[in-house]
Structure 1
Amino acid sequence: MNIKPLADRVVIKMLEAEETTKSGIILTSKAQEKPQVAEIVAVGPGGVVDGKEVKMEVSVGDKVLTSKYAGTEVKVDGEEYTILRQSDILAIVD
Structure 2
Amino acid sequence: MPPRRPLPLFDQVLVERSIAKTVTKGDIMLLEKSQGKILQATVVAIGLGSKGKCGEIQPVSMKVGNKILLPEYGGTKVVLDDKDYFLFRDCDVLRKYVD
Q: In which range does the TM-score fall when normalised by the shorter chain?
A: 0.7 to 0.9
Matched, 1:35 2:47: no
Structure 2: gaps (5+ residues): none
Corresponding residue to 1:90 among 87, 91, 94: 94
Matched, 1:71 2:71: no
Q: Distance in 2 between matches of 1:31 and 1:47?
A: 38
Matches within 5 A, 1:1-94: 1-48=4-51, 51=53, 54-94=58-98
| One-letter amino acid of the structure 2 residue matched with residue 30 of structure 1 | K
Decide which structure has greater strand share.
1
User: When the two structures are superposed, what TM-score results if normalisation uses the length of structure 1?
Assistant: 0.86
Deviation of 1:12 after TM superposition, in Å, equals: 0.1
Deviation sequence 1:35-90 (CA, Å, 0-9, x none): 000000000000316x4753311000000001011210111110100011011111
CA RMSD, Structure 1 to Structure 2 (Å): 1.9
Assess if the C-alpha contact under 8 Å between 2:16 and 2:84 holds in 1: yes
Report the identity percentage.
32
| One-letter amino acid of the structure 2 residue matched with residue 69 of structure 1 | Y
Runs of 4+ that moved beyond 4 A: none
Q: Distance in 1 between matches of 2:62 and 2:76?
A: 18
Larger Rg: 2
Deviation of 1:24 after TM superposition, in Å, equals: 4.1
- How many residues are aligned here? 93
Local SS of the residue matching 1:30:
helix
